[in-house]
Amino acid sequence: MSHKSLLVLLLITIAIATESPALQQLRHKLESNEYNSQLVDMLELSVAGGQIDRVFELLQKMIDDLTGQINSANLEHASRMAAFQLSIEQLEANLAQLQNEVQTTNRKIGEITQSISTLTSTSVSIKKQLETINQREEQIRNNRAKEIQSVETKQTASQKTLETLEEIHNRLVKAVLSNQGSFLEETEKQEIINQVKQELGLTHPLALLLDLSAKFDELTAKKAIELIEQIIASIKESQQFREQNQTAAEQNFNSLINEVSILREKLGQDNQKTSSTLKNKQNDLKIAQRRNKQLSLNQENTQQLIETTRVQKDLYDSNFRSNASKREGQLNSLKTAFQILRDNEQALKK
Ligand SMILES: *[C@@H]1O[C@H](CO)[C@@H](O)[C@H](O)[C@H]1NC(C)=O
Ligand SMILES: *[C@@H]1O[C@H](CO)[C@@H](O)[C@H](O)[C@H]1NC(C)=O
């Protein structure tokens, strides 16, 4: 119904027609709004035109059209609301899935962090053991060097003693063989005693023997020769013993160094393995953290999308309700008009 043409018709009719009681009743009964006043004006024109049957036909058609519109709008509303609901449910399912994944990733991050902590202390402990083993090797080598030094000093000293004793021995033997009567000169005797004291010590039995003998005679010399030979044999024996002992000590040293090397190699392998596992775990941690960041972002976006969809749904629903209530009002007006005109049909037809 065009507003402009209605107005033109209205102006013409107002001049020629006075309002019927039925239309007056209708105007009072209907709520005052643009639609209703246009409706009554239109009916007034049509009634004035005298085509009452056409008016009923028209009203019925309007009622049917509007009812059709209401039905199809209701269907459309139901389907769109279902579509909104489905979107929201899908988004909520996505959100729940994301929350699950975040939890799983967080658990994984916790596990990786725990392993990293364990591996780090293992690595520290291995490095400390390596340090200890290196110190131990240094100590073994130092000890060995000191031992070699000390043995060399002893061997040199005993060699010097040996040489002196051999020289004294030779002198005494020569004296015994060549001279039967007057024995060694006092000066030579004193020289020998001094040498013995120097090499063997002041209280050595040989020193005492020579020192205390009232007469340095052949018998004393023979006793001294015998004693010197015993001492020489004993020195040679202990030299030999020291050498043998050094062979054993060297073997012992080599086996200690070997043990240390094996241990260090094993620790080195452990260290490498631990370091590489640690590196992998740190990499895993980075990946898991990056994944969690992405998941959190997706979670936020999904949450926001749910909110937006809800707002759109509510807005659509409230627009629909407002349209629906307008349509219901119009339908009621049409039905009321139809009923009142029907009630006054006879009067209107006169
Ligand atoms: C033999 O070697 C051992 C250990 O290396 C040492 O304790 C001992 O004094 C040595 N003996 C001699 C006679 O050098
Ligand atoms: C409500 O009516 C207006 C005007 O006819 C229309 O533009 C809008 O799409 C309608 N909204 C709904 C939800 O039916």
Tell me how far the alpha carbon of residue 167 lies from the centroid of ligand 1, in angstroms: 29
> What pLDDT was estimated at residue 330?
95
Tell me how far the alpha carbon of residue 241 lies from the centroid of ligand 1, in angstroms: 9
Q: pLDDT at residue 2 above 50?
A: no
- Comparison of pLDDT for 194 and 331, the residue scoring more: 331
Computed over every residue of the chain, the mean pLDDT equals 89
DSSP 350: -
Average pLDDT over residues 226-239: 94
Tell me how far the alpha carbon of residue 245 lies from the centroid of ligand 1, in angstroms: 6
- Comparison of pLDDT for 266 and 219, the residue scoring more: 266
| Structure confidence by residue, pLDDT tens digits, 286-325 | 999 999 999 999 999 999 999 999 999 999 999 999 999 9
Instruction: Report CA torsion sign: 20, 24, 27, 30.
Output: negative
Nearest ligand to the CA of 248 is 1
> What pLDDT was estimated at residue 163?
93
In the chain, the amino acid numbered 42 is M
- CA dist 310 → 76, 207, 271, 333, 335 (Å): 18, 120, 58, 34, 37
Query: What atom of ligand 1 comes closest to residue 147's alpha carbon?
Result: 5
In the chain, domain spans: 3-100+320-349, 127-298
- CA dist 63 → 32, 71, 169, 274, 349 (Å): 19, 12, 156, 86, 22
Single out the residue of 109, 24, 51 nearest to residue 287, CA to CA.
109
Nearest ligand to the CA of 70 is 2
Q: pLDDT at residue 182 above 80?
A: no
Mutation pick for ligand 2 pocket among 323, 325, 330 (CB with most ligand atoms within 8 Å) = 323
- CA dist 41 → 33, 79, 175 (Å): 12, 38, 174
Q: What does the block give as tokens for 21?
A: 């009681």
Q: Which residues line ligand 1 (CB under 6 A)?
A: 241-242, 245, 249
Contact status, residue 333 vs residue 36, Cβ threshold 8 Å = yes
Q: How far apart are the first and last CA of the chain?
A: 27
Q: What does the block give as tokens for 307?
A: 């909110």
User: What span, in angstroms and rounded, lies between the C-alpha atoms of 173 and 179?
Assistant: 10
CA-nearest residue for atom 2, ligand 1, is 245
CA-nearest residue for atom 1, ligand 1, is 245
Nearest ligand to the CA of 327 is 2
Q: pLDDT at residue 235 above 60?
A: yes
> What pLDDT was estimated at residue 314?
98
User: What span, in angstroms and rounded, lies between the C-alpha atoms of 119 and 125?
Assistant: 10
User: What span, in angstroms and rounded, lies between the C-alpha atoms of 289 and 232?
Assistant: 83
Tell me how far the alpha carbon of residue 43 lies from the centroid of ligand 2, in angstroms: 27
- 311 CB-contact burial (10 Å; exposed 0-12 / middle 13-18 / buried 19+): exposed
Nearest ligand to the CA of 240 is 1
Single out the residue of 226, 37, 117, 156 nearest to residue 109, CA to CA.
117
> What pLDDT was estimated at residue 23?
84
**Backbone torsions φ then ψ of 105, nearest 5 degrees:** -65, -40
Query: What atom of ligand 2 comes closest to residue 76's alpha carbon?
Result: 14
Q: Other C-beta atoms within 10 Å of 295: how many? A: 20
Single out the residue of 342, 337, 320 nearest to residue 63, CA to CA.
337
CA-nearest residue for atom 5, ligand 1, is 249
Q: Comparing 85-89, 323-327, 341-345, which segment has the lowest mean pLDDT?
A: 341-345
Q: pLDDT at residue 15 above 50?
A: no
CA-nearest residue for atom 8, ligand 1, is 245
Contact status, residue 344 vs residue 22, Cβ threshold 8 Å = yes
CA-nearest residue for atom 1, ligand 2, is 323
Cβ burial 139-176 (10 Å sphere, 16+ → b, else e): ebeeebeeeeeeeeeeeeebeebbebbeebbebbeebb
- Comparison of pLDDT for 334 and 54, the residue scoring more: 334
Instruction: Report CA torsion sign: 124, 129, 133, 139.
Output: positive
